[in-house]
Structure 1
Amino acid sequence: MKKISITFLLVLISLIAQAQFTFKGTIANYSNKRILVKIDRAFDDILIGNITTNSNGSFSIPVKDNYSGIIEISLLDAKKNYIFISDNTDIDFSASITTNDEFIINIPGNQINERYQNYLNYDIKKNSILPQLQNINFYYNSKDDFYLPLKNEIQRISEMNEPDISEFPFLSYYLKTSDLIKNTEIGNGDAISNKNLILDHFKNAGQQFETSGVGKSLLYNYFKLSAMGATSQKDWENKIDKAIEVLLDEVGEETSRGQEILSATINFLNGYGLVNLTDKYMKRAESLTCEISAELKKTIQDNNSIKEGKIIPNIKFTHKLNDKYTYLYDIKTKYKLIMVWASWCSHCQQEMPYVKQFYENFKKSGGEIIALSVDYNKEDWQNAIKETSWLNDSDLIYWDSKFVKELNITGTPTLILVDQKNKILKITSKISDINNLIK
């Protein structure tokens, strides 16, 4: 009996040691449905859970590493994320999905998230609802039935005190930086001043920046502000180029922050199809003589490997295609066209009739299409592929799909034509660009 007790205790200690904290919740009207759970980094996020709620709408996931920062959950169509704040303590929230698919938090889950929700409630009432009520008030007088309730509500909101968040440093940082993002959007104040505010933030923000997920929004605002007044595409690119030079010189590429920014910048440029600028900053990254971060190394590797003339990675499919293809290289055809798309993508829908028309002759020429979808909803995906005869696959985790990372995909549709030796012949978004290459 004593031996059993000791063994049980050791197992219990082991289980406790494996998790820093637990993130769990119950969502009413969301039973037996999927949830994606992610933790944020400065410029992106990491998927830590692709789970299904139980019959009560509950789920639980252990977070093994010490983590203070933003936790995001995606549900429904995965296009909208809902934010929780982690201070490395357990979170156990209760929420519901309304008939309009709104996500309502009933119990925030712990003290920091309760304060976060209180602040959001205060902010929306004080800065959004109150001004509207004050405008409406001009159209009523003391004889109107609605006058007194309206006046009382205006007074109640006016007297609301801002929730004290001083005991939660990360929450304070996140809310202030969220305000910075909103206040530096185009049209809000002086462009040069706003650009300098963002530049100062990149230079001086502390460790909290690294788990806040705010980097990409700040970087986009910085680029948009920098490109204001451009009179042509060339002028636009020149302004962006100059802004990048200033940013990297100010922050310093030898620093981890500078290398994060350089990595995110390369991905931004590549995503917008700015080939010359992408090549310029890829060369700048490759020429660094200081120690290079793992993140920047990966960006260099990804951008170098998925290029015309390179060999495409031997990606593993989520499902065994046609009950015989596990890997891309298993498909031994003269040509392979990898098409990354989604059922929700309007550009994909516009291109699809031309792809179907192309496929008939492509198949006769010894080619095969492998369509990899970044869908989330299984039913939507299956309905979209019902009338296609090419090979289809999806892991149904939206932009967190593993092939998105393996193929360095930045948008849909992306078409990658490879030959029999798996050499990339063409990367494009238009099937017409592929048509002329097939012999």
Structure 2
Amino acid sequence: MKKTLLAYGFFLSVNVFGQFNVKVAVPSYLSDSDIYLYSFNGSKEILQSKAKFSNNVATFKVDKAYKGMLRAFFKKSASSVNMVSENKDISFKIELDSKNKISDVIFDDEVNKLFSYQADIQKKQDLILPALIQIKDYYTTSDSFYKSLDSEINLLSKNDTSAYETYPFLSFYSKNQKFSQQEKVAEIKSQDFINFFSKSGEYLETSTILKPALVNFLNVSKSNVEGSVDQLLEAVNVETPRGQTIMSELIEIFSTYNMDKLKDKYLTQAKNLKCTINDRLASTIQSNKNTEIGAKFPNSVFVNPIHTKSKSLYDVKAAKKIVVFWSSTCSHCEAEMPKLLEKYDKLKAQNIEIVGLSLDSNLDEFKSKANLYPWINDSEGKGWYSSYGETYNIVATPTYFVLDANNVILSKPNHVGDVLEYLKVN
């Protein structure tokens, strides 16, 4: 997943004493699994709690009031379930397929029944409706099949959201999803995006809409990205929590797409802010500081190491190290890692070691792939929920760093060819 957007602690003040439970009925295969519940602050996922089990029912306690999207991550099956919270109890059960991946989710609470229905309708509108409209053209109005098609098209074309009005977050999510949908970008003007970001109520940060909407905003503003971003940041006010969260998201987007000039400009602005910095922006500033050329690369204590007896990255002794963040499911990693393998003997001859840090969520898949490579590999087995993303500012795989013997960052190559060129290995 080369340079793709990734696969959030903003709590609402609706009821500071609010507390609710999420209960999940799971098959026996998952009864010994670690299951985690995450809330959102923009594109950042915030760990809420770890499930406690009783009779194949996993229960999460949420101690603070929260309205927004939630995600339950089932580590053993490397699968996730998205749901909506209206600060009320949630319950559902899951079913697994023959490969122990989640095949079906059945919600019991009303709000998530509505959410599931909306998602199903949206899928049909995106995939089935265009085909039905095309097929209808092959029939005359007098054909009975034409009338059936016309009835189904009218049914799918309706977007009645009146049932959501008693659920504030679900209503917000339904009305504003268009800003995050790439196929609808042409219908929305740059100023409409700015109004959406600056005037939306308290649910924007918890909706998962923010980051894809910002990407769409940049696409709409491509004739003058910098000017549009300046206008946006003025509208949202970077001295407010929302303004700082949006600034953080933009810095990460610019980093993802190698828009270094813009990333550096707004990162410098962030560092120079004289107001109180919120945790989200502070984290972005720190992760970028951790990975600047000339900075000492933060240590990584190994959890599931392969091909080494070293306990941490710093314990690995070499004249230089290539640190590569990768995943067994990353197609670009599949294309680039073999090129490192071809040059590994030459690298070793120069006392250069490779250390792979994997963002796999399935340790069996990680070990199967990592054992094919002779260099050191490790993984926390948490996918994008691992500590690597925040500590090392990892937004895509593969990502490379070249370190010296003292773990100081010498280079941040974009591709494996750049790594080998920098090290003069041919």
What TM-score does the superposition give when structure 1 sets the normalisation length? 0.80
Equivalence for 1:386: 371
Equivalence for 1:83: 82
**Matching of residues 105-184 of structure 1 within 5 Å:** 105-106=105-106, 108-121=107-120, 133=132, 136=135, 164-182=163-181
**Matching of residues 26-425 of structure 1 within 5 Å:** 26-27=25-26, 31=30, 37-48=37-48, 58-74=57-73, 82-97=81-96, 103-106=103-106, 108-121=107-120, 133=132, 136=135, 164-182=163-181, 185-186=184-185, 188-189=186-187, 193-227=188-222, 239-319=224-304, 324-425=309-410
Name the CA shift for 1:138/1:285 in 2 (closer, same or farther; >3 Å). Answer: closer
CA apart distance, 1:171: 0.8
> Which one has more relative contact order, counting CA pairs under 8 Å at least 6 apart?
2
Local SS of the residue matching 1:316 = coil
Q: Structure 2: 5+ residue runs without aligned partners?
A: 1-16
Aligned residue identity for 1:176: K
Local SS of the residue matching 1:22 = strand
Structure 1 contact 19–62 (Cα < 8 Å) conserved: no
Name the CA shift for 1:344/1:423 in 2 (closer, same or farther; >3 Å). Answer: same
Taking the aligned partners of 2:77 and 2:414, their CA distance within structure 1 comes to 24
Aligned residue identity for 1:427: K
Structure 2 contact 401–409 (Cα < 8 Å) conserved: yes
Name the CA shift for 1:134/1:384 in 2 (closer, same or farther; >3 Å). Answer: closer
Equivalence for 1:6: none
Aligned residue identity for 2:217: Y
Taking the aligned partners of 1:353 and 1:156, their CA distance within structure 2 comes to 51
CA apart distance, 1:335: 1.7
Local SS of the residue matching 2:84 = strand
Aligned residue identity for 1:199: I
CA apart distance, 1:212: 1.2
Taking the aligned partners of 2:66 and 2:397, their CA distance within structure 1 comes to 33
CA apart distance, 1:261: 1.0
Local SS of the residue matching 1:285 = helix
CA apart distance, 1:224: 0.5
Taking the aligned partners of 1:151 and 1:105, their CA distance within structure 2 comes to 31
Taking the aligned partners of 1:320 and 1:153, their CA distance within structure 2 comes to 55
Name the CA shift for 1:424/1:148 in 2 (closer, same or farther; >3 Å). Answer: closer
Taking the aligned partners of 1:268 and 1:158, their CA distance within structure 2 comes to 34
Give the aligned length.
407
Q: Structure 1: 5+ residue runs without aligned partners?
A: 1-17, 231-238
Equivalence for 2:19: 20
CA apart distance, 1:83: 2.3
CA apart distance, 1:288: 1.4
CA apart distance, 1:199: 0.6
Aligned residue identity for 1:93: F
Name the CA shift for 1:55/1:371 in 2 (closer, same or farther; >3 Å). Answer: farther
Structure 2 contact 306–371 (Cα < 8 Å) conserved: no
CA apart distance, 1:84: 0.8
Identity among equivalent pairs (%): 29
Specify the structure having the higher radius of gyration (Cα): 1
Name the CA shift for 1:138/1:253 in 2 (closer, same or farther; >3 Å). Answer: closer
Name the CA shift for 1:367/1:93 in 2 (closer, same or farther; >3 Å). Answer: same
Taking the aligned partners of 1:389 and 1:431, their CA distance within structure 2 comes to 17
